[in-house]
Structure 1
Amino acid sequence: MAVMGEHDSSTEELSLSDHNPKIMGHICTIPEFFAHKNIFITGGTGFLGTVLIEALLDTHPDIGTIYVLVRGKRKFDPNERISRLLQKPIFQKYDEKALSKVVPVVGELSEVNFGFSEALLNELIEKVNVIYHSAATIKFSSPLRTAIKTNLTGTMRTIELAKKLRNLSSYIYLSTAFCNSNNRGLIIEEVYKSQFDPYDMMKMAEDDAQWEDFTDEKCKAIIRDHPNTYTFTKNLSENLLMAEMSGLPAAIVRPSIVYGTLEHPMKGWVGNANSGHLGYLAGFVKGIFRTMSGRASAIIDIIPCDFVINSSLVMGWYVGTHHVEQPEVIHCTSGEVNPLTLKEFCVIMNDSVYRHPPNNFVWKPATKLRNGWRYNLFFYLFHIIPALAYSIPEKLFGIGMPHHTALDYMRVFQKGTKAFEYFMDKDFRYSFKNALRIMSIMHESDKKRYNFDSSLCDWSEFIDRCLIGVRRFYFKEAAETTAWHRMYWRVFNVIHYVGFAVLFIAIFGVCALIFGVPIGLTLALAIWGFLVWL
């Protein structure tokens, strides 16, 4: 596959252009770089965006205004949305003066100039120095037209703003490692040329006639070997950046599967825990999700959320203090330097929930890899049917999990599993060369605080923190694991195995009634053994 903008990354250009600051004769540290900078963020109300805002506030007490693009929804006051966002636990350490730097700006991502008034647009042009573009429709099943308008046209709008700024220091695009998942072998930190022209695709999105009788077959004919519209449009967006941002201080950060935080701003922060794979973890903790599909030896490339944010801040500093001829690309991944297989992942999750069980659960939490008919049969027998049964007392007595019913979780799980099947059945390898090169030239003080070297991650410790984070921040339970939790687990463990005995008695009763005791016993043992194996 041809790539756009190949260059020799073995040499480092240290000459500085006008926008690249030096402080006291040296290239500044990351906190020094962000001092007095004004930032424009898209996607700031999402999981990654929220942690990004906190991290920016934490860089330097003299950071400037952080403008956050907020959609103008009915019944939602933008100031109220930002106010609620800033009430999250990760912002508790900041005083009113610091939080007042976060300012909502109402606009639509895909509209020209975001639909801003002339006065607001001029204010941004005069003041903004750094742009972080993280807004996207992350649904793998999004209609192609929606994905183009949000992911591609939305990126174009941020590029247009970047080119108008009086003093652009850096532009950072949060892409995804999966944007090149239609390729095999080692995926390098370069932009892979799209099979379609991004400008043609944006024109197509604006032409109503193109979408009349637009079938799934037509969609597949366009995205071709991409697994979904998300990866297709993210790849197009990277191609757009390469075409538009040559010679400007721009970078592309490609994270893999984003989990909770390892360290900053606090251990195990998971937000609302319903995005991406975190939704699976929330259901698993309560014993609702009990299986996964994929090859045992396949690598699940997870990455802590704060590593993604750290890499984004590092790249903001890097392209703002080093001359780049084209957008710099890095992966924020783990598979090449600290691989974790699906089998190991399941073992770690089961061990983690054993050490840190929640206050209550629907079924004893445990997960296991299954594939093909075994996975499908288990899913319907032990996910769908129990969820349907459990939904009755949920509706009658108002009991159950916060935010969603068990059946709601099943629908999310089924949809999410289907979307992730493509990625769980293949080995995607991501080069980490550019990321390591840039890490090597960071200041020593920055290397520790803004670390994103996943080779240092202890996956068992990380999953522990995420699981406790789900308990604490999503289910509003205490973070501490007490003797009561241990006792509750032991009681449920006994009930779990008693359930096997009850299941056998029930099967035997039915079989004996129909076929008689001798045949019924043999048949019951066979059926019971199959279900236990399943």
Structure 2
Amino acid sequence: MFLTGVTGYLGKVLLVKLLSVCRNLPDNSICVLVRGKKELSASDRFDKDLFNESYIFKQLLKDRPDARKAIKVIDGDVSKSKLGMTPTDYEWVSNNVTSIIHMAATTNFNENLRLAFEINILGTKRVLTLAKQCKKLLSMVYVSTCYTNATRHSGTEVREKVYPINFDPYEVIKDVTAMTPEEADKATPHIIGNHPNTYTFSKMIAEHIVLEEKENVPLAIVRPSIIGGAASFPVAGWADSYIGAAGLVSATGLGVLHGMNGKGSNIVDFIPVDYVVNIILSACWHTAANPPGERMPIYHAASSTRNPYTWEDLRAIVVGFYRRRPPKRVVGSVWCIFIQNPFLFYLYHFAFTRLPATIQDARRVVKGETPKMVAGAKVLYKACHSLSFFTLHSWLFAAHNTMALWESLSEADSVIFPFDISQLNWEVWSVLFCEGIKKYVFKEINDLENKGTERKFRSKL
């Protein structure tokens, strides 16, 4: 198996799942593409970020001390020709790999368009080229996003298909890759049109390239919505960074986020990270067992049509949790509201975030400390602005293929790889997510108010 993107949140959980479930893997049977960083080689970075520092990998090693032997780390970069691999490594993958899961991407909403194209589009194209040369390939899964179709009207159904576009994606790729990063920045609003950011636009084009060039590759696409904390695996509520959904919950819990430019009654399409992993692995198995031929099945890893949940529901639970159990690093009162009007939201942000930050910085200067609160308030406002498109709009992501995939699992496999979102209790999940952020992101891992309460919530989930 060949994996990209394993150092990311989703990739870590998927790799731990594989190593936990497949207990008799031969040495080097899971091949991971990792980019070296600064003074660290790819292998050293992989060991440092995952096996040496990640909580879930440390827990894995307690049960499987030899787990690292199953992994072959290859130095590479999806933004480089032939994925940045040496000829020897490229040939090894071509001769030995039977399945590919491509998760690597830049998920930065405000990424430079040139770089977003290089990683999200051309990187995917390079992985597909590799797949065509793999002599033993049985399946490939490309991880995209539900929001490739974010230009569709709010409230409408988005089906599990690649929708037609009114431009030639190859011409756009040619134009953008010929630009300098500075030129791409200036041209971005014109090029992406109604898309909210370079991330959704580049992933949308990548899907069209995959559809056009897949040829005989047995390939499926998995589209996650907003990935949140784990429902149960590797531990309930697991989160490990301030990225994505965890960032919003963290900022609210710390008392720095008091408002969002959005509509509370809109659906917040969360999906637990372990459900996404289980859908990916199930799709990988199903594609190998039932080659799709010319078809390219698409699976929505989403909750909006099967078990809808609103932003207001989430807000109430998050605020209630952190008022009862504030983090040690809390910097202000915990509350948050939704404001639909952008101008009113700006005034609200200025009054309750920017102005208090200015006062706090003034106090810091008087004390001889470095002012940093205003800078943080600016970052927070920018983040809220980037997310406003998704809090002001909502879609209904059809999940017919995903449910058919679920029903194809045996009873035993459905226990090992659960992803029936209709059975998830959102209230319980939200509390566990808040708990997970407190423990694993805020590093208050031993600050459990009541371990019995956590066990009770897990059993309910």
Task: Normalising by structure 2, report the TM-score.
Answer: 0.89
Residue aligning to 1:370: 339
Residue aligning to 1:55: 17
Checking the alignment, whether the CA contact within 8 Å between 2:16 and 2:60 is kept in structure 1 is no
Q: Relative to 1, partners in 2 of residues 1:384 and 1:43: Cα closer, same or farther, differing over 3 Å?
A: same
- 2:357 maps to 1:387: yes
Sequence identity, in percent?
29
Work out the CA distance in 2 between the residues paired with 1:410 and 1:330. Answer: 38
2:319 is paired with a residue whose SS is helix
Checking the alignment, whether the CA contact within 8 Å between 1:346 and 1:369 is kept in structure 2 is no
Checking the alignment, whether the CA contact within 8 Å between 1:300 and 1:341 is kept in structure 2 is yes
Residue aligning to 2:457: none
2:60 is paired with a residue whose SS is coil
Q: Relative to 1, partners in 2 of residues 1:427 and 1:319: Cα closer, same or farther, differing over 3 Å?
A: same
C-alpha deviation, 1:407, in angstroms: 4.5
Structure 1 counterpart of 2:436, one-letter code: G
Residue aligning to 1:354: 323
Work out the CA distance in 2 between the residues paired with 1:393 and 1:249. Answer: 61
Residue aligning to 1:86: 51
- 2:35 maps to 1:71: yes
Residue aligning to 2:287: 319
1:338 is paired with a residue whose SS is coil
C-alpha deviation, 1:108, in angstroms: 2.0
Residue aligning to 1:515: none
Residue aligning to 1:288: 256
1:264 is paired with a residue whose SS is coil
Task: Normalising by structure 1, report the TM-score.
Answer: 0.77
Checking the alignment, whether the CA contact within 8 Å between 1:41 and 1:69 is kept in structure 2 is yes
Query: Per-residue displacement from partner, 1:331-385 (whole Å, max 9, x unpaired)?
Result: 0111111111222221121222234332341122221222324322221121122
For structure 1, the 5+ residue unaligned runs are 1-38, 484-534
Query: Per-residue displacement from partner, 1:371-430 (whole Å, max 9, x unpaired)?
Result: 324322221121122233334666888999xxx965554333222211111111122111
- 2:313 maps to 1:328: no
Checking the alignment, whether the CA contact within 8 Å between 1:352 and 1:463 is kept in structure 2 is no
1:468 to 429, 435, 450: 435
Checking the alignment, whether the CA contact within 8 Å between 2:35 and 2:77 is kept in structure 1 is yes
Query: Per-residue displacement from partner, 1:450-504 (whole Å, max 9, x unpaired)?
Result: 1112211211111111111111111111455439xxxxxxxxxxxxxxxxxxxxx
Q: Relative to 1, partners in 2 of residues 1:437 and 1:394: Cα closer, same or farther, differing over 3 Å?
A: farther
Work out the CA distance in 1 between the residues paired with 2:119 and 2:250. Answer: 28
- 2:413 maps to 1:449: no
Residue aligning to 2:388: 421
Work out the CA distance in 1 between the residues paired with 2:351 and 2:291. Answer: 59
Checking the alignment, whether the CA contact within 8 Å between 2:260 and 2:337 is kept in structure 1 is yes
1:287 is paired with a residue whose SS is coil
Residue aligning to 1:306: 274
Query: Per-residue displacement from partner, 1:152-200 (whole Å, max 9, x unpaired)?
Result: 0000010011111111121111100000111132110011123333333
After TM superposition, the structure 1 = structure 2 runs for residues 469-508 of structure 1, keeping only pairs within 5 Å, are 469-478=436-445, 480-482=447-449
- 2:169 maps to 1:203: no
Residue aligning to 2:378: 411
Q: If you compute each CA radius of gyration, which structure gives the higher value, 1 or 2?
A: 1
Work out the CA distance in 2 between the residues paired with 1:260 and 1:363. Answer: 24
Aligned-pair Cα RMSD in Å: 2.4
After TM superposition, the structure 1 = structure 2 runs for residues 75-154 of structure 1, keeping only pairs within 5 Å, are 75-84=39-48, 85-87=50-52, 88-91=54-57, 92-94=59-61, 95-154=64-123
Work out the CA distance in 2 between the residues paired with 1:81 and 1:478. Answer: 24
Structure 1 counterpart of 2:352, one-letter code: F
Checking the alignment, whether the CA contact within 8 Å between 1:148 and 1:201 is kept in structure 2 is no
Query: Per-residue displacement from partner, 1:90-110 (whole Å, max 9, x unpaired)?
Result: 122333421222232111212
Structure 2 counterpart of 1:106, one-letter code: D
2:66 is paired with a residue whose SS is helix
For structure 2, the 5+ residue unaligned runs are 451-461
Q: Relative to 1, partners in 2 of residues 1:105 and 1:412: Cα closer, same or farther, differing over 3 Å?
A: farther
Residue aligning to 1:41: 3
Work out the CA distance in 2 between the residues paired with 1:189 and 1:398. Answer: 57
Work out the CA distance in 2 between the residues paired with 1:98 and 1:271. Answer: 21
2:260 is paired with a residue whose SS is strand
Q: Relative to 1, partners in 2 of residues 1:196 and 1:71: Cα closer, same or farther, differing over 3 Å?
A: farther
Work out the CA distance in 1 between the residues paired with 2:167 and 2:365. Answer: 49
Q: Relative to 1, partners in 2 of residues 1:238 and 1:302: Cα closer, same or farther, differing over 3 Å?
A: same
Residue aligning to 1:179: 148
Work out the CA distance in 1 between the residues paired with 2:369 and 2:403. Answer: 50
C-alpha deviation, 1:79, in angstroms: 2.1
